[in-house]
Structure 1
Amino acid sequence: MSALVRPREGRMIGGVCAALAQRFGTSATTMRIIFVVSCLLPGPQFLVYLALWAIFPGEKRGAAAW
């Protein structure tokens, strides 16, 4: 398993689903579908997403990117 870091590539809004997908070894699309389906259930899904967006650090640029 990799660290929970919002990737620079493959993210749509904040990169939370992409980070979770990398962590659990699944595709980002699968995580996005799980999130959308979970929004149909009662609960604070959007607040959790915003909290994870604030907590997960963004991926840093490597030396080769400059």
Structure 2
Amino acid sequence: MRLHHLLLALLFLVLSAGSGFTQGARNHVTCRINRGFCVPIRCPGRTRQIGTCFGPRIKCCRSW
């Protein structure tokens, strides 16, 4: 029975730690806090979009 509790706690930790990366940045301040930068075009090179900065056209990008 203790093993089930341990596995449930581990699952909770894994899912809660990943939740911060699934929520998109919505303005330039949260973009900077998430170690990103704002660009008006596609994310360049080895970066990926993690949200938007001022609207749907300005993207918040972060390197891998």
- TM (norm. structure 2) is 0.25
Structure richer in strand, relative to its length: 2
The structure whose Rg is larger is 2
RCO (CA 8 Å, sep 6+): is it higher in 1 or 2?
A: 1
